Structure 1
Amino acid sequence: MPFGKVLKNILNIVSKNKVLFILIFIAAVLRLYQLDKLTIFLSDQGRDAIIVERILTFKNFPLIGAPTSIGQVFLGPFYYYLIAPFLFIFQFNPAGMAYGVAFLSLIGIVLSYLAVKKKLGKLTAIFFTLLVVFSFTQIEFSRFSWNPNLLPIFSFASLYFFYKSLTTKNYFTSFIFGALLSFSIQLHYLAIFLFIPLGILFLESLIKDKHKILILKNIFVTALSFILFSSTLILFDLRHGFLNSKNFLKLFSQKELVSNSSFFSRFSDTVQAFINHIFKTDLNQNGAIAVLLIFIVLYFLLFKKNNAGLFLKINFYAVCLYLLSFSLLSSARHPHYFASIYYSFFLILGYLLSNLFKLQRVKYIIPVLFLIIYIFLNAKNYYFFKNADPYWSQINQAKRVANSLSKEIGNKPFNFATWPISFGEDNFLYFLELKGQIAANREKLEITDQMFVLCKEEPCLVINSPSWNISMFGKAKIDKIWDFEGIKIYKLIHEK
């Protein structure tokens, strides 16, 4: 095909989707600007980079993913394999994984726009995409590598294919739905709360629909797909006496997750956190609940008037039932804990704004004013527009620290630890591993003749340390101390 014809086709596509291309351009700037300088590269990212590097070099193919912060319940390995090509493309520079998340987020925005446009119209799709594009929480998710960061896209896609499965009763869409649901739960276990709205709407469909056998066949295909794409995690559990399942069940007896506070108190906390994460405000509980109530009332008024359909209903159920389900827990309300329902909330809100936009009495005043305030509140947090010195990027600093250590380690085996433990270590170990210097495995109680301890917080308790990561080395003495860019590095050897 001649180049001129290709260019003409591209320009034709762009001219038909001008708004989408403008929004994606803005989204790309907000997600990619100074990304390599400002992306997070701490212990979690270092751990993932080590595992992905071992996949790419055929050293190890994990059956499990990252452990949860509470309870040591392992996720599935989906994220590692999804992000691996980007580390390879960037020649093992860990910034590649962050760029991978940003790229996949942009693809997710495009596909979500097209899905919403098809089901609810162009105006709703534009409002929905505007909310996603300028959301600081969504931007932040897109600017560093971490398994929950892609959950908004995968959970929304799961709900879309659930809708397709119910309406088309097609085996292929049911299979894709099962796969996406598996991927969502592998990104974060809180996505399991989506089973509640999905289960209710499935039963409702089964009761009302005449083609019950066909619906049951499709849900069987979904179940097979879910099991297939979760098989590595299931296999791990079978091989280890259902360790993961037992740890998951134990979570609900721990004080971090379950408390004696009232359900209404936890629900108020949940709604307050969710609304504040979306609008980047500091509303009190009453204000946040008022916002949610307005949201619900407007939805029912417009849903009844316009008969908006099943897709909207699925997402509305997802938001409301997720908030209720999450309120059963007493854990912190971090932004990523709501990742399963952000896009669903934006969809409902976009639908409400588009309908207000059409009203003769309102015209565009309220929706446009709302968007201006929304963008202003979120834009105040766009830290990445400030000048950043690449020298002090977390990736470059971890690399320099590793280079300093590498000279002292030499070709000898070594143990490694940090003080305090929360300081983390895998971001440094990743660059050492690229040099072929792999720390002894303390989980297997491997002890060498030297240990290196990085201390970030005084007093540096490296001798007779309360940290098992350090004390497991045995009776030790300090052989050498040096400072490097605000980190005190200790070399320990055994005391004879």
Structure 2
Amino acid sequence: MEFTEKIKKNKQEIILVLLLIFLGIFLRSYNFSDWLHFEIDQSYDTLLVSPAVDSGVSNLPLLGPTAGGGRALRLGPAFYYLEYLSAKVFGNTPPGHAMLVLIFSILSLPLFYLFCRRYFSHFISIGLLAIYCTSLYMVSYSRFSWSPNVLPFLILLAFYSLLRSFSEDEKKKNSWFIISSAIMVIITQIHFNAFFVIPAIVLPLLIICRPRFKLRTWAGVLLVLFILYSPVIISDIETKGQNLRYFIHKFNRSGNGSGNFNEKLVQVIHYNASEYFLIVTGIDHINGKKLTGYGFSNPEHKAWRIAAIATLSLALLVLFYSLWKEKDRKRKDFLWLIVLWFLVSFSYFFFVKKSGFNIYPRFFLVAAPLPFVFFGLLLERLAKIKKIGTFLVLAALSFPLATNARGLNRYFSQLNRVGKEPLSVETEDVFPNVARITLSQQYAIADYIEAVYRQNNYPVYFKAKHEYEPVIWYHLERKGIIYSGKMKNNIIYQEANYFAIKFTGSNIQDYKQKFTVAEIKNFGTLTVWRFIPKPEAVTQLRQGESEKEIPIQKQQITQLFTWNKLLAGKEKTSADEAVETKIEESATAEITEDAVSLGLTEEETKEEINNGIDDLE
């Protein structure tokens, strides 16, 4: 009865919230499968999880993704286990694996509203939900499978549960604390940023807010921690502390520490201000391609940069003033969480940059809800202005709603056109690439190669950028076309189907020395050239069975320590590590070759190699 009365009392609010949620669902799910972003990271995860989907859960690994930089510290396997559930329920296909991210992103919509209501009024919370639902940044990272993409939902759930456990009037505070702790343990297994940032927020928050829980609640938290980290513990026992050694090695050589303190501090201030502004407004041209473009000395988009820093500075002033003045316990706990969330994430990004590493837009997924809360604090101040407060809030809300609508229209328009016309875009602020390639394009390319293959059943060899080669091979192998090896310059087979898959307009002069172009097939952003070997270039009739190779990603996956290997009593040996080293060397050589052909600088080549090795893992 009480629940029914609440619905009647807040009928208009509920209807408005539901309408916004439906809008958010539409933006996240529209043409989800056809326009899916599916590249080297996604193909790796799919190949890794697929054996468990097809042949049993014991094929899952005991460790998760690496923390970057090749053979290094691996996090826990939570994301792979979640992706396994997604593929098991929705199908062992790229969209089936990605449904996890879509569902979590949809669930984050009502959760974000509930989180905001811990502090803000109905009016402000609905306004913030409207921006969250239509945020270009949030929508973009909701539409494909990638471990960082689940962070906004999981972090919101963990922090919402934590705040409820702090409330004196909460009847099930102990249960909420266990739920929060369990989610936070999972979060630390999702991404390296969260592994450090989330515990560093929660521990001081517990000290400041001093919640009281039963002893058995703390025992339950420790039990949850042990259970969820048991795969990692078992793996380290079986591999004689290999993961721990990688962890120590990672920090002993943590970057080159380039640049002085003040320079890096200014750059990180620019990073935070610019990315916060991007997340709320969808304005994605305020960041430079490289961090060197973040100083005021660069005149490009200078006004936007100043606006971003001014907005962040004003929001921080309001935040600390509100914390100082706030008397209500529940609202003060919320503000303490926001303060620590910002300070810890900012400090972490400074450490990352000071250590010589780059900061990418995806890193801010660990703090993605923060910019909306900061904007809400500014709206709250505007709302208190007599007579015109409501008008000012609506006017302020209209700006990010309009800019995000413009950004989403451009984004969806690009996705709609990439299969029809050559389209190159600068998307550094959302994705670190300069082109959009959709799953439907990849299917079309794989269908074309299959049609050629069915005419003669000759092995297929092709060249493509390292991000796309394993992806196309994933699709081809699903069609029964088995990988035989890489396309090599020094070995040319007569009985073979040769292709080059490159951005439309690319130069293929290097291929014309040994091949004749038989057909050119355009797929919008990408073009496929089909080659026939010149008679004088042929070195061998056909590849021998003993010469056939295994794809790099599959080689790497076979080295993972799975539950099957554990149950069979197999251990990781030095020979396995030697194979991993060889795989890395092969990947590095391939990426370097791509970089040279693209005319990249030495610094850009190094960055490509680092990203490529991360992708490999």
**Given the alignment, which residue of 178, 182, 195 partners 1:179?**
182
Secondary structure of the corresponding residue to residue 183 of structure 2? helix
1:386 aligns with 2:413: yes
Secondary structure of the corresponding residue to residue 35 of structure 1? coil
**Aligned-residue offset at 1:413:** 12
User: Counterparts in 2 of 1:31-430, with a 5 A limit?
Assistant: 31-58=28-55, 60-72=59-71, 73-88=73-88, 90-117=90-117, 120-167=120-167, 170-191=173-194, 192-206=196-210, 211=212, 214=213, 218-254=217-253, 258-262=257-261, 263-278=264-279, 279-281=281-283, 282=286, 284=302, 287-307=307-327, 308-330=331-353, 331-360=357-386, 362-382=388-408, 383-386=410-413, 388=416, 394-406=438-450, 418-421=463-466, 423-430=467-474
- The one-character-per-residue Cα deviations of 1:191-243 (angstroms, maximum 9, x if unpaired) are 1212222121222344xx6x5xx477645533432332233233333333433
**Aligned-residue offset at 1:319:** 1.7
Is the 1:455–1:487 contact (alpha carbons within 8 Å) kept by the matching residues of 2? yes
Which stretch of structure 1 is more off in the superposition, 407-416 or 177-186?
407-416
Query: What residue is the counterpart of 2:27 in the other structure?
Result: 30
Pick closer, same or farther for the CA change 1:438–1:377 going to 2, 3 Å: same
RMSD, aligned CA: 4.0
Distance 1:373 1:63 in 2: 47
Is the 2:75–2:192 contact (alpha carbons within 8 Å) kept by the matching residues of 1? yes
Query: What residue is the counterpart of 1:446 in the other structure?
Result: none
Which stretch of structure 1 is more off in the superposition, 120-129 or 180-189?
120-129
Q: TM-score, normalised by structure 1?
A: 0.78
Distance 2:453 2:176 in 1: 54
- The one-character-per-residue Cα deviations of 1:115-134 (angstroms, maximum 9, x if unpaired) are 43355442342133123112
| AA partner of residue 360 (structure 2) | H
Secondary structure of the corresponding residue to residue 260 of structure 2? coil
Distance 1:460 1:14 in 2: 67
Pick closer, same or farther for the CA change 1:394–1:386 going to 2, 3 Å: closer
Pick closer, same or farther for the CA change 1:363–1:341 going to 2, 3 Å: same
Is the 2:116–2:125 contact (alpha carbons within 8 Å) kept by the matching residues of 1? yes
**Aligned-residue offset at 1:78:** 2.4
Distance 1:64 1:413 in 2: 38
Pick closer, same or farther for the CA change 1:16–1:129 going to 2, 3 Å: closer
Secondary structure of the corresponding residue to residue 407 of structure 2? coil
Secondary structure of the corresponding residue to residue 487 of structure 1? strand
- The one-character-per-residue Cα deviations of 1:462-496 (angstroms, maximum 9, x if unpaired) are 9xxxxxxxxxxxxxx99998755423467995599
**Aligned-residue offset at 1:295:** 0.6
Distance 1:51 1:70 in 2: 19
Secondary structure of the corresponding residue to residue 236 of structure 1? helix
Pick closer, same or farther for the CA change 1:10–1:434 going to 2, 3 Å: farther
**Given the alignment, which residue of 404, 428, 432 partners 2:476?**
432
Which stretch of structure 1 is more off in the superposition, 325-334 or 266-275?
266-275
Query: What residue is the counterpart of 1:17 in the other structure?
Result: 14
Distance 1:28 1:44 in 2: 25
Which stretch of structure 1 is more off in the superposition, 388-397 or 259-268?
388-397
**Aligned-residue offset at 1:94:** 2.0
Distance 2:256 2:77 in 1: 24
- The one-character-per-residue Cα deviations of 1:351-402 (angstroms, maximum 9, x if unpaired) are 4423532442541133222211112232232134428269667223323433
Is the 1:38–1:384 contact (alpha carbons within 8 Å) kept by the matching residues of 2? no
Is the 2:37–2:438 contact (alpha carbons within 8 Å) kept by the matching residues of 1? yes
Secondary structure of the corresponding residue to residue 364 of structure 1? helix
Q: Can you give the 5+ residue segments of structure 2 that lack an aligned partner in the other structure?
A: 1-5, 287-300, 421-436, 487-492, 534-539, 548-617
User: Counterparts in 2 of 1:465-484, with a 5 A limit?
Assistant: none
Which stretch of structure 1 is more off in the superposition, 252-261 or 230-239?
252-261
Which stretch of structure 1 is more off in the superposition, 196-205 or 143-152?
196-205
Is the 1:266–1:329 contact (alpha carbons within 8 Å) kept by the matching residues of 2? no
Pick closer, same or farther for the CA change 1:164–1:412 going to 2, 3 Å: farther
Pick closer, same or farther for the CA change 1:408–1:334 going to 2, 3 Å: same
Secondary structure of the corresponding residue to residue 398 of structure 1? helix
| AA partner of residue 62 (structure 1) | P
Distance 1:233 1:414 in 2: 41
Question: What is the identity percentage for the equivalent residue pairs of Structure 1 and Structure 2?
Answer: 21
| AA partner of residue 102 (structure 1) | L
**Aligned-residue offset at 1:438:** 5.4
**Aligned-residue offset at 1:113:** 1.5
| AA partner of residue 386 (structure 1) | S
Distance 1:226 1:257 in 2: 34
Distance 1:339 1:353 in 2: 23
Is the 1:419–1:460 contact (alpha carbons within 8 Å) kept by the matching residues of 2? no
Is the 1:252–1:258 contact (alpha carbons within 8 Å) kept by the matching residues of 2? no
Distance 1:156 1:94 in 2: 26
Which stretch of structure 1 is more off in the superposition, 57-66 or 400-409?
400-409
Distance 2:252 2:519 in 1: 45
Is the 1:148–1:339 contact (alpha carbons within 8 Å) kept by the matching residues of 2? yes
- The one-character-per-residue Cα deviations of 1:410-463 (angstroms, maximum 9, x if unpaired) are 899979775443x33332233234345554799xxxxxx98977553656989x
Pick closer, same or farther for the CA change 1:76–1:114 going to 2, 3 Å: same
**Aligned-residue offset at 1:328:** 1.1
Which stretch of structure 1 is more off in the superposition, 196-205 or 259-268?
259-268
Distance 1:266 1:379 in 2: 29
Pick closer, same or farther for the CA change 1:484–1:109 going to 2, 3 Å: same
Distance 1:414 1:254 in 2: 43
Is the 2:462–2:500 contact (alpha carbons within 8 Å) kept by the matching residues of 1? yes
Aligned pair count reads 463
| AA partner of residue 197 (structure 1) | I
Pick closer, same or farther for the CA change 1:226–1:370 going to 2, 3 Å: farther
Secondary structure of the corresponding residue to residue 351 of structure 2? coil
Secondary structure of the corresponding residue to residue 327 of structure 1? helix
| AA partner of residue 349 (structure 2) | F
Q: TM-score, normalised by structure 2?
A: 0.64
| AA partner of residue 27 (structure 1) | G
Secondary structure of the corresponding residue to residue 329 of structure 1? helix
Pick closer, same or farther for the CA change 1:416–1:82 going to 2, 3 Å: farther
Secondary structure of the corresponding residue to residue 117 of structure 2? helix
Is the 2:236–2:243 contact (alpha carbons within 8 Å) kept by the matching residues of 1? yes
Pick closer, same or farther for the CA change 1:437–1:317 going to 2, 3 Å: same
**Aligned-residue offset at 1:31:** 1.7
